[in-house]
């Protein structure tokens, strides 16, 4: 009996200890209850629907908003917020503008519309109840400095396109060509003066938007080797000398005359003998023709006074300007004159004075341009050549020299393509 009693007592003790252990052990969470809590939390977060759209050609913004789910009243209020919050002109919104429309899954009425009104500008239209408000957001650009070099094989466009094609998109390459032409527009006619084998190097700002769009900013320095002659240009802010760029000798690149009367220039006929396209036979062509689209703005190549703005037989609509030092310029075949331009008007260099046309003896839209010196027609390429404007003043000379040497040293290294110099 005693062994059985002892065995019973041991079993009882083990049972009591096990029961105590169960009571003291913390209770594990119910896995099903925890999952329910997570699902409840997730369900509390609203689910959004996004609609991506673009403004169609000839389509109104209101039409797009209706397609995105806004009713007539909401469209009216959203448009009011758009025109008030960012001074948006609905008549000037370009086709293809990206639009994002955001709404809660549980609500069929959109509560937010985002318009990309420019590469670096977003307009957010947000709804609170039945009211809409607009706020504009500026997207930051990243700016760095690049150096581009190339050799002329046919023209400046082709040279930049060839050397920078793998590093700059087409639009940025075109911007760089025009920016470089603008720097040299008082010294070099990029359509006529460049020869095969001429070389250029340029340092310019490159701006990159968050969307990946690339733009060319200011040209900082450049050099051209034209038939073996170097013409350098350095951007320098002078307190008294006019112009933004100065050559290696410290003379302003800005001169008394522009080299060409069209900003977007393409010469089709040069000074000298040619067969007349309408009358036939070899005739002396006492000027230069610039082929351009109808309506292209024509600019005064220098300060002066309009002496004639009227019809003149073969010239068609003709405009003449008298400049200093016995210079007269003529602009023929014009479609129309700029408002306010008439005999006696004073004009300034670069001012739009008329528009390209095809009036008079003309086979198509172009500008006929002449330069007269002391009453005689001269080759514009020779008559308008300049060796520079006013110099950097003595008080700023040391500062300019230091900047010039630093910039041109960056262009001394061989360049073929695009080289990144700095980021900021």
Q: Where are the domains of the chain?
A: 48-138, 142-255+394-423, 267-383
Q: pLDDT higher for 412 or 231?
A: 231
Average pLDDT over every residue of 187-208: 89
Residue 90 has pLDDT above 50, yes or no: yes
Residue 106, pLDDT score: 64
User: Contact at 8 Å (CB) between 319 and 353?
Assistant: yes
Report whether pLDDT(272) > 50. no
pLDDT given for residue 117 in this prediction: 87
286-301 mean pLDDT: 87
Span 267-383: which CATH code? Answer: 2.70.70.10
> 48-138 has which fold?
Nuclear Transport Factor 2; Chain: A, (3.10.450)
Residue 220 has pLDDT above 80, yes or no: yes
pLDDT at 424 over 80: no
- At 205 the pLDDT is 94
3-class SS of residue 76: helix
Provide mean pLDDT across the span 160-183. Answer: 90
- Mean pLDDT confidence for 405-412: 90
Dihedral (Cα; 57, 54, 118, 204), 10-degree rounding: -90
| pLDDT higher than threshold 80 for residue 277 | no
| Reported pTM | 0.69
User: Candidates 3.10.450.350, 2.40.10.340, 3.40.50.740, 3.40.50.720; correct CATH number of 142-255+394-423?
Assistant: 3.10.450.350
Cα 185 to Cα 22: distance, rounded to the nearest angstrom: 94
**pLDDT of res. 11:** 54
Mean pLDDT of the chain: 82
Rounded CA-CA distance 50/64 in Å is 15
């Amino acid at each position: 009996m005693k062994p059985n009693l002892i065995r019973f007592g041991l079993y009882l003790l083990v049972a009591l200890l096990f029961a105590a252990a169960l009571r003291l052990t913390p209770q594990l969470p119910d896995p099903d209850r925890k999952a329910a809590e997570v699902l409840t939390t997730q369900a509390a977060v609203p689910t959004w629907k996004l609609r991506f759209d673009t403004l169609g050609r000839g389509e109104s913004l209101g039409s797009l908003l209706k397609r995105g789910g806004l009713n007539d009243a909401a469209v009216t209020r959203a448009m009011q917020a758009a025109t008030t919050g960012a001074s948006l002109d609905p008549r000037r919104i370009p086709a293809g503008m990206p639009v994002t429309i955001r709404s809660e899954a549980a609500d069929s009425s959109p509560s937010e519309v985002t318009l990309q009104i420019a590469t670096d500008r977003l307009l957010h239209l947000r709804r609170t109840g039945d009211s809409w408000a607009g706020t504009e957001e500026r997207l930051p650009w990243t700016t760095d400095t690049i150096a581009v070099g190339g050799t002329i094989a046919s023209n400046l466009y082709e040279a930049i396109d060839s050397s920078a094609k793998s590093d700059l998109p087409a639009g940025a390459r075109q911007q760089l060509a025009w920016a470089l032409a603008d720097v040299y527009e008082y010294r070099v006619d990029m359509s006529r003066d460049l020869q095969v084998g001429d070389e250029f190097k340029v340092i310019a700002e490159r701006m990159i938007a968050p969307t990946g769009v690339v733009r060319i900013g200011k040209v900082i320095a450049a050099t051209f080797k034209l038939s073996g002659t170097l013409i350098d240009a350095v951007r320098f802010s002078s307190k008294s000398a006019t112009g933004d760029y100065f050559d290696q000798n410290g003379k302003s690149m800005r001169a008394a005359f522009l080299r060409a009367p069209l900003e977007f220039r393409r010469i089709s006929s040069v000074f000298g003998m040619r067969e007349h396209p309408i009358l036939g036979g070899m005739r002396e062509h006492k000027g230069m023709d610039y082929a351009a689209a109808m309506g292209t703005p024509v600019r005064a190549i220098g300060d002066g006074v309009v002496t004639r703005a009227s019809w003149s037989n073969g010239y068609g609509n003709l405009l003449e300007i008298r400049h200093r030092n016995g210079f007269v310029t003529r602009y023929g075949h014009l479609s129309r004159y700029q408002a306010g331009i008439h005999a006696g008007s004073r004009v300034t260099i670069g001012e739009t004075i008329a528009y390209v046309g095809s009036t008079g003896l003309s086979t198509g839209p172009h500008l006929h341009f002449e330069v007269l010196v002391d009453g005689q027609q001269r080759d514009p390429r020779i008559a308008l050549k300049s060796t520079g404007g006013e110099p950097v003043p003595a008080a700023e000379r040391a500062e300019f020299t230091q900047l010039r040497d630093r910039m041109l040293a960056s262009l001394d290294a061989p360049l073929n393509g695009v080289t990144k110099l700095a980021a900021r």
